[in-house]
């Protein structure tokens, strides 16, 4: 009889999205005329930049000509793409990252999950996540057998949770318990907070002192508007020895349905083998990537390359400015309602403190019932997200304006 990976049985039901769907469907059934506006969307809503569409068309034509046809490409990604990434995303910001330290992939979700393949199985490493957290980091560690069972109150035994709340400015505190791995996401999903240079220096220093590996998720770096904030962990001295960085074209250039991302593993980064020997993580990831992955399609990589042209950068900026315009409207409207509002300045997510001691779900029901507006309860991202609520700026301007007008007119706080 086939034996299953029993770690999967430890997973708590991913109840956030289905529960939102259930409550919205129930409300709509009872109020068929209600025009519900979804402000919880974690996906982009604007079309691809025109330069990317043109590059894809041209690449399709290439594939139809014998002389330009491409079959399997390099698993790591074409050099012409990796060189542009190294130059524009890293060298331009003073980061010493070489093109061959970059691995192009089909998504950061997969990369943040797959990286666990090259780290010790079982409960060997002590792993820290922030609370609230992008749930993929937690669930993939559960699947890999890195945790114990889920405890009452939704935390997994064996993981270290670092609460990020208004009280600490949404900056994860250094773990009191020594950890081997820490996930940092900046700008953050869901809190919308972006870590400053001092926050990152503190973590890099911690990692160097404790031989901790930082898994740095910069999926939303393109949304940073404050020029003083780092976009990459490698802007911090010493990070090359302690950090892996994940980036994605999903939110930068609207590639959620195209699929392209990248992971940086500096050649100076090592882990420890059972016998104490230092081993290159780059080498291990290269082995994993070339064995289990056959590369991102040529057409997609040409689209990603187009993002780095002058016109591509202008078009990407324009779309991000549009979303950030939405974020500004959301922030302003919520502040005018007297709410405590965070995020939405260097990230597409606005994070609101629920008023009057309401739980995240109580506030969800209130907005749905009174304004027909749907957001995401903060408690769905972790215990420390209780009492918060996420609104997303990924939406049409029309929807954002209508939703905010309804909050002003209809919601009694
Ligand atoms: N990392 C964070 C923090 C995200 O919020 C998301 C998507 O919502 C991803 C990674 C996934 O990116 P990708 O589309 O490249 O898989």
Q: How many A from CA of 302 to the centre of ligand 1?
A: 21
Does the pLDDT at position 56 exceed 70?
yes
Mean pLDDT along residues 126-141: 97
The pLDDT, as a whole number, for residue 41 is 86
- Could you tell me which of 51, 59, 111, 32 has the C-alpha nearest to residue 300? 59
372 lines ligand 1 (CB under 6 A): no
Ranges of H-type helices in 118-196: 135-143
The atom of ligand 1 lying closest to the CA of 106 is 15
* 312-358 pLDDT, tens digit each: 999 999 999 999 999 999 999 999 999 999 999 999 999 999 999 99
What's the topology of domain 53-306?
3.40.640
Element at 79 (helix H, strand E): helix 79-85
- Domain 6-47+311-410 belongs in CATH node 3.40.30.10: no
Q: Are 146 and 127 in contact (CB under 8 A)?
A: yes
- Could you tell me which of 322, 333, 335, 341 has the C-alpha nearest to residue 191? 341
Q: Are 89 and 247 in contact (CB under 8 A)?
A: yes
Structure tokens given for 406: 């309804």
Element at 128 (helix H, strand E): strand 127-131
107 lines ligand 1 (CB under 6 A): yes
Does the pLDDT at position 153 exceed 70?
no
Who contacts 328 (Cβ-Cβ below 8 Å, separation ≥6)? 344
Does the pLDDT at position 374 exceed 70?
yes
The pLDDT, as a whole number, for residue 203 is 98
Does the pLDDT at position 43 exceed 70?
yes
The pLDDT, as a whole number, for residue 306 is 98
Does the pLDDT at position 233 exceed 90?
yes
355 lines ligand 1 (CB under 6 A): no
**Mean pLDDT (the chain, rounded):** 97
The atom of ligand 1 lying closest to the CA of 43 is 8
Pocket perturbation via mutation, ligand 1, pick of 140, 190, 248, 346 by most ligand atoms within 8 A of CB:
248
* 192-205 pLDDT, tens digit each: 999 999 999 999 99
Q: Could you state, in order of their start, the residue ranges of all structural domains in the chain?
A: 6-47+311-410, 53-306
């Amino acid at each position: 009889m086939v034996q299953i990976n029993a770690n999967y049985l430890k997973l708590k039901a991913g109840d956030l999205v289905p529960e939102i769907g259930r409550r919205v469907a129930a409300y709509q059934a009872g109020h068929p005329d209600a025009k519900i506006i979804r402000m919880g969307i974690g996906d982009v809503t604007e079309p691809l930049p025109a330069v990317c569409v043109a590059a894809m068309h041209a690449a399709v034509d290439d594939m139809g000509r014998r002389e330009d046809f491409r079959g399997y490409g390099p698993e790591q990604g074409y050099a012409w793409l990796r060189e542009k990434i190294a130059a524009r995303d890293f060298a331009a910001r003073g980061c010493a990252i070489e093109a061959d330290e970059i691995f192009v992939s089909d998504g950061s979700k997969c990369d943040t999950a797959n990286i666990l393949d090259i780290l010790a199985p079982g409960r060997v490493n002590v792993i820290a996540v922030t609370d609230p957290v992008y749930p993929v980091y937690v669930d993939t560690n559960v699947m890999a057998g890195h945790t114990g069972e889920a405890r009452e109150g939704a935390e997994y035994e064996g993981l270290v949770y670092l609460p990020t709340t208004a009280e600490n400015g949404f900056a994860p505190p250094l773990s009191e318990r020594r950890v081997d791995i820490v996930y940092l996401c900046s700008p953050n999903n869901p809190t919308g907070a972006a870590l400053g240079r001092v926050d990152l220096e503190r973590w890099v220093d911690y990692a160097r002192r404790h031989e901790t590996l930082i898994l740095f998720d910069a999926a939303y770096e393109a949304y940073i508007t404050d020029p003083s904030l780092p976009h990459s962990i490698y802007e911090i001295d010493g990070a090359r020895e302690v950090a892996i960085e994940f980036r994605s074209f999903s939110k930068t250039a609207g590639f959620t349905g195209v699929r392209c991302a990248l992971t940086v593993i500096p050649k100076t980064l090592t882990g420890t083998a059972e016998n104490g020997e230092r081993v290159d993580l780059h080498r291990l990831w290269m082995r994993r990537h070339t064995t289990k992955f056959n590369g991102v399609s040529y057409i997609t990589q040409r689209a990603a390359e187009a993002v780095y042209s002058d016109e591509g950068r202008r078009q990407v900026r324009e779309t991000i400015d549009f979303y950030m315009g939405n974020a500004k409207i959301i922030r302003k409207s919520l502040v005018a309602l007297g709410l405590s509002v965070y995020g939405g300045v260097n990230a597409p997510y606005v994070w609101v403190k629920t008023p009057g001691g309401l739980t995240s779900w109580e506030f969800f029901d209130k907005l749905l019932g009174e304004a027909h507006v749907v957001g995401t309860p903060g408690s769905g991202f972790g215990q420390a997200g209780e009492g918060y609520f996420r609104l997303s700026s990924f939406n049409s301007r029309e929807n954002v304006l209508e939703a905010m007008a309804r909050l002003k007119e209809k919601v009694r706080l």
